[in-house]
Structure 1
Amino acid sequence: MVYCPQRSGTGAGTTTCGLKARRTTQEARRLSHQRPQHPGTAALDAALAAPAGTTPDAGTTTALRPAPADRPAPAGRPAPAERPERTRPRRTTATIAEVADAAGVSRATVSRVMNGRDTVDADLAARVREAADRLAYRPSNVARSLSLGRTETVAVVVPDLANPMFQQVLRGVAAAAGDAGYRVLVADTAEHVDDEQTVVLDARLRCDAIVLVSPRMPERALRALLPQLRPAVLVNRAPDGGTPTLEIDYADGVAQIVDHLVGLGHRHLLYLAGPPESASHRRRLEALRVAAAHREGVRLSEMPAGASVDAGYAAAADVLASRATAVVAYNDLVAFGLLARLNELGVAVPGDVSIVGFDDIELARFATPSLTTAAVPQVDLGRLAWAHLQPGLTGGDPMPDPAPIAPTLAVRASSGPVPPSVRLARDTAGAAPADVVPLVDVRWVLDAADGDGVPAAALVGRTADEDAAPGVPLVRYATGADLPPVHSPRPYLHPVHTAAGTAVTDLSPVDHRHHYGMSFAVPVVNGTSYWGGRTFLRDEGPTLLPNHGRQVPRSRRADAGSLTEQIAWLDERGADLLREERTLDAAAWTDAAAWVLRWSSTLHAEHGDLRVESPATNGRPQAGYGGLFWRLAAADTTAVLGDGLAGEAAVHGSTSSWLAFVQRRGLASTTLVLVQPPAQVRPWFVRVAEYPGAGPALAWDAPALVPAGGTLAAGLAAVLVDRALDADEAATLAARAWEA
């Protein structure tokens, strides 16, 4: 099917019309060797004289007269009575001749003005346009094309218009072409390889040039076809040396995916394969095989799937049967289908299996959970395709092909650490955990800034035996800019690792999608939610409201183990509500084989009074959560301790200065000690049975009020240890958590 976005007057539009693009192969071959022939002068004048949608003689009046009197009526038939004169409906569309008469110029002059020629005197051109506007004259597109010798239309051929990836590439081409005064005709081959060449030829004959996006035809057929299509641009195939080509660096994107999954402990990866005729599938598969072969202990399985949501949905049972711990889907649509079916089956993602897609289509960050994927700049790819096509239309010098475009990995909630039971079976086989090498130093490292944005950051540690090694990854500090609006976007720490590499944070888990590692999350400030999800309303309960704000880092600076930043808290309308000063200090405790992270925040009420609330202050007992909140990763066992306290019921709501989560994953144990600043001890909100998480409550049983110009301080230190601590050991470490 071919879709043609039409143009109203001289401006590009978006209305689509459908016309069949099914011609016989023989006819397409015959047409491919022809070029449109201009009609003679008389035919061209007739076409120009006709308004759009009419024939040259349309609109004339024809009278039906009675038979002449001297012509006898046929025998046996009475003479016909005189019939009234019938006329055709009078046309209402102006012709080029009428515009010429109204402007006092020739039809040729009107034609040149309407076609944008600059050879007409400016005053005459203005007079012609005024007359055309007054008469509501619209030039015939057919006549315009005949006069100019071009259609001012380019074709874009895609294999599957239902795929949002191709929709965004088309969007980029159409936007750039529209800026240059061109329309875009879209041909969808619907993954029918046998018809692809016919559709491509037919689309090219209707247009001045063509953009081929991810064609499925075999390499030999494509190379034979390209010389017939020029000017043309090829997207997502290997270059032929003569046609401008835009390549995606799949090897780089796949390497990022594999490194990410291997870093999370995965060793058995499964690839859900795309259409066999797809060149991008073949290149992704080749890159996966190479990446797996070059990483010790990594095993790659392959499974046929397809390119659609249905394909991913249908593959779920086989995915589970493979016992792979991480799945790399051919594209995001396949990943969506797999996620949907696994959710129905009660399989936790990423708790039981991690899933990664490819493309980063617009909906990827709104999946459940949000999808980790290799992001391709789709709209920019379309604009770049137009930039390389335009010289072929204007006679300019061709642009050199750009370097292959490298995807960037968008890490979201669908990928996580390998399940503890798998790690236990693979790595320990009943052996005791290896001794932890103590850290001797930690430092913050900022990523390269992305445009005007604030960069993400990472905390890395150094051990005594590392020399020039890159360091032990301890924390990833994200800006949160890509979180769904309903989750109240905010900066967050995830993953946070112990020195031995055990992750002790969770990201957007199934039970609470708006939980993001360690963050400053508050249910209500002046009516705006900085917690995410639903808001608890008195007498109504949890209600989803359009009241989600966001925390936007304005600056971020790192100096060794200290990171400082300024953060604007914006309400749901984007207006400034308050300003936060935040400091994250970290240090290695070599003597204790531990490390500590101290989070200190000061909220400034620079824009008026502040009222900080929680569900408890709105009628939900024992639900005073909100503030610095740590969502822990799941474990085989979790116990919580406090100062003289043990168990969730005892620690929840207490004002113990510290609490400790002691967790076991296989044979490996960790302890996370959370410690409040001595002068800021607040009641603890604690969960263990429902999910592991805790934080000091800013509004435990009453709103926290901050007058205009005032401040509100919040702080929390975390000590991370790779062993199970008892209460006395935890208390000893807690006592030094806030020491300089």
Structure 2
Amino acid sequence: MTAPRPQTRRPRGTATIAEVADAAGVSRATVSRVMNGHDTVDADLVARVREVADRLHYRPSNVARSLSLGRTETVAVVVPDLANPMFQQVLRGVAAAAADAGYRVLVADTAEHAGDEERVVVDARMRCDALVLVSPRMPERALRALLPEVRPVVVVNRDPDGTTPTLEIDYADGIGQIVEHLLVLGHRHLLYLAGPVESASHRRRLEALRAAAAARGDVRLSEMPAGATVEAGYAVAEDVLAARPTAVVAYNDLVAFGLLARLNEIGVAVPGDLSIVGFDDVELARFATPSLTTAAVPQAELGRMAWQHLQPLLSGQDPLADPVPIRPRLAVRASTGPVPPSVRLARAERGGAQPAGPAPLTGLAWQLDDADGDTAAGRTAAVATADLVGTSTGHGALPLARYVTGADVPPVHAPRPYLHPVHTAGGTSLTDVSPVDHRHHYGMSFAVPVVNGTSYWGGRTFLRDEGPTLLPNHGRQVPTARRAAGPSLVEDLVWLDEDGAPLLREERALDAAPWPDALAWTLRWRSLLHADHGPLRIESPATNGRPQAGYGGLFWRLSPADTTSVLGDGLAGEAAVHGSHSPWLAFVQRRELSTTTLLLVQPPAHVRPWFVRVSEYPGAGPALAWDSVCDVPAGGTLEAGLAAVLVDRALPAEEAAELAARAWA
């Protein structure tokens, strides 16, 4: 007698289509139509089949389903280097948008090998329903011959051909913003670290740089081969120093990271000795040391847009019109600063061109960033920057100040809007951003150590009996609306606590005015805080047990200088002015080619103790909680204000007092 064969239990998920059809009392064809989503099947029948399929743990074969439907419901994304965070973010955008439509993504990396790219593209397209081709490296003629063979396809980051849906980036505009930023800082010798020769974006960036240099007779552009990786930037650091530029424009952020790393190792100060700019604004750019100034490209949004243009092609619809070229946005951070004083001195000695000297200003006006093409009043805080531009006889337009939303500020620095750079009429910047000694200092901003337990100062929080401690208690100030009219800029903000909940509302106004009888101009900042969400308790390290550390409020971090001294009303020196109720203070700074005075004046109705630093670093501001807690009742308000007069010479105490008396007039 033959022993019975042992029974084997079918694993979950391996029920067949025939078993589902038998259990549901329908044909296999009906099961197939239901599982493939055909809308010709009766709704009750669909419910019955799906109930049986779930009970039997039936999962249709993707291969069989693809054969039945004639499609794989997969799209391929081909990138030149998956290790590059720029392409990772584009991929993430495509994948997220495709998943919402029920599509999967297959990824192919050509490893920057232009010769293999065509083979990789064709192979990927054969396995999928459509293709997103990101920054292809192949020559133009080869690309145009290939595209008809692999349709439907969307191309990202190449010139459009009028037939294939294409997302184009306006590199000329991005490079223009970079060059203008560096020129304002006084740089005249720029070095470009070139990307891969096969890269179309490299060629377009280089063309834009050459055009910008050609348009300015006093600008020298050097070019140096590098590549697209961190290692490439690291390897060329010594060659960069040998070329003696004052500013470097790297092909991308990765190259800039490598250069920064090597310069840190050999003791070159950035931006004190050399300014560095990247391109793309990958996620790590703001966390570099120092944080990287770069042209920001909306990478994940590019991926989402690529899917939006690909999806109609998958269903046989007409293609969408190509969008206008996407403009990068300049993210100004700590890796760029004024040209070193030694360079300015050498330039003067050999009779080189200099930034415009001080001249009487005849007018001032705020200009909102028009990245979205809308310059009407009442725009929302999606606007990235606002620039204050002055006019003067014989000098034309002069960039005087830039106001930034602070959206790129790291969370640990308490993101907030800030002013930087702020220039005198003669072109000297009097602000500093994220310096080495205090990374959380940002030009001129409203920075408070503690409001109801949340830090709007950044960095470490001082705890009684513990000292400075890094806590996850940082909030952020978020602009909600902004309006500009001539020399006046008005902004509405909400202060969010460490958990992202609204803590208070602020009305902020910045207005500027020239001095008709002096080579100077004035910037006034007024803030009104509303305790709409309950009472406010404003504290400082001093109120928590650290003597003389009552900082917090409107705070101005100055740029470094060869010498810095400070005056007050009848006072001289840091020790005398610190903690005083002087209505004004004046920082006199001397550099090799310039002497400047920053006169800070409090509103007559609200004179608070000054927090002042000179020896450790140059900075000051009126303190909201100098030695006692500042309480604002629910529904109450708190006013804060500060006027700054920027002068291109040293002011004696008598003249400083005279100008201070007129600063709020």
Give the TM-score, by structure 1 length: 0.83
Distance in structure 1 (CA, Å) of the matches to 2:418 and 2:323: 36
Show the counterpart of 1:333: 254
Aligned residue in 2 for 1:89: 8
Q: How far off its partner does 1:308 sit?
A: 1.5
In the alignment, which of 177, 181, 186 is matched to residue 260 of structure 1?
181
Tell me the alpha carbon deviations over residues 243-273 of structure 1, each in whole angstroms, 9 at most, x when there is no partner: 3333222222222221221222111111111
Counterpart check, 1:288 vs 2:216: no
**Are 2:20 and 2:49, in contact at CA under 8 Å, matched by a contact in 1?**
yes
Identify which range, 339-348 or 685-694, moves more after superposition. 339-348
Query: Does the CA contact (< 8 Å) of 2:504 and 2:533 recur in 1?
Result: yes
How many Å apart are 1:434 and its aligned residue? 8.0
CA contact (8 A) 1:626 1:697 kept: yes
Q: Distance in 1 between matches of 2:408 and 2:222?
A: 31
- What residue number does 2:567 align with? 641
Q: Quick one: which of 331, 334, 354 aligns to 1:413?
A: 334
* Equivalent runs, 1:604-643 vs 2, <5 Å: 604-643=530-569
Instruction: Report the count of equivalent residues.
Output: 655
Distance 2:42 2:55 in 1: 20
Alignment of 1:241-252 (within 5 A): 242-252=163-173
Question: Quick check: 1:420–1:635 contact (8 Å CA) kept in 2?
Answer: no
The answer for the alignment partner of 2:288 in structure 1 is: 367
SS at match of 2:511: strand
Q: Decide which of 457, 462, 479 is 1:531's aligned counterpart.
A: 457
Shift of 1:517: 0.9
Question: Equivalent residue for 1:29?
Answer: none
Structure 1 residues 275 and 442 mapped into 2: Cα distance closer, same or farther (>3 Å)?
A: closer
Structure-1 residue corresponding to 2:506: 580
Distance 2:599 2:530 in 1: 28
Structure 2 match to 1:726: 652
- Asked if 1:707 corresponds to 2:633, the answer is yes
Provide the residue aligned with 1:458 in structure 2: 387
SS in 2 for 1:416: coil
- Indicate how the Cα distance of structure 1 residues 681 and 160 shifts in structure 2: closer, same or farther if over 3 A, else same: same
Deviations 1:101-136 (A, max 9, x none): 111111111111111222222222222112111111
1:613 Cα deviation from its structure 2 partner: 1.5
Amino acid at match of 1:207: C
- Partner letter of residue 355 of structure 1? I
Q: What code does the residue aligned with 1:443 have? A: A
1:406/1:682 CA distance change after superposition, 3 Å = closer
Cα deviation digits, residues 254-310 of structure 1 (max 9, x gap): 222212212221111111111222222222222222221222211111222221222
Where in structure 2 are the equivalents of 1:385-424 lying within 5 Å? Answer: 385-424=306-345
How far off its partner does 1:465 sit? 5.3
Residue 218 of structure 1 deviates from its aligned partner by 3.4
Could you tell me whether the CA contact under 8 Å between 1:335 and 1:355 is conserved in 2? yes
Aligned with 1:591: secondary structure? coil
| Map of 2:642 onto structure 1 | 716
| 5+ long unaligned stretches in structure 2 | 373-378
Q: How far off its partner does 1:435 sit?
A: 6.2
SS at 2:68's partner residue? helix
Look up the SS of the partner of 1:592 in the other structure.
coil
Aligned equivalent of 1:666: 592
Change (3 A) 1:648 1:402: same
Q: Secondary structure at the match of 2:658?
A: helix
5+ residue gaps in structure 1?
Answer: 1-81
TM-score of the two chains, using structure 2 as the length reference:
0.92
**Deviation at 1:350?**
2.2
Tell me which amino acid in the other structure corresponds to 2:360: P
Contact kept, 8 Å, 2:380 with 2:481, in 1: the verdict is: no
- What is the CA distance between 1:87 and its match in structure 2? 5.2
Would the alpha carbon gap of residues 735 and 399 (structure 1) be closer, same or farther in structure 2, given more than 3 Å must change?
closer
Between 1:382-391 and 1:141-150, the stretch displaced more is 382-391
Alignment partners' CA distance in 2, 1:102 and 1:433: 85
| Conserved? CA contact 1:421–1:665, under 8 Å | no
Deviation digits for residues 188-212 of structure 1 (CA, Å, limit 9, x no counterpart):
1222334333322222221122222
1:168 aligns with 2:97: no
Query: Alignment partner of 1:717: what SS?
Result: strand
Q: Structure 2: how far apart are the matches of 1:700 and 1:428? A: 47
Distance apart, 1:681 and its partner CA = 2.6
2:376 maps to: none
Q: Tell me which structure has the larger Cα radius of gyration.
A: 1
The one-letter code matched in structure 2 to 1:228 is E
How far off is 1:174 after superposition? 1.8
**Residues 237 and 529 (structure 1), Cα distance of their counterparts in 2 relative to 1, 3 Å cut:** same
Distance 1:399 1:416 in 2: 43
- CA root-mean-square deviation: 2.5
User: Please, which of 430, 436, 450 is the counterpart of residue 504 of structure 1?
Assistant: 430
How do residues 430-445 of structure 1 correspond to structure 2 at under 5 angstroms?
Answer: 436-445=358-367
8 A contact 1:440–1:463 mirrored in 2: yes
Instruction: Assess if the C-alpha contact under 8 Å between 2:296 and 2:330 holds in 1.
Output: yes
Deviations 1:202-229 (A, max 9, x none): 2222112222212223344434433332
The amino acid across from 2:496 in the alignment is: L
SS of equivalent to 2:543: helix
- Structure 2 CA distance for aligned equivalents of residues 605 and 233 of structure 1: 51
Q: Which amino acid in the other structure matches residue 133 of structure 2?
A: L
Alignment-derived partner of residue 55 in structure 1: none
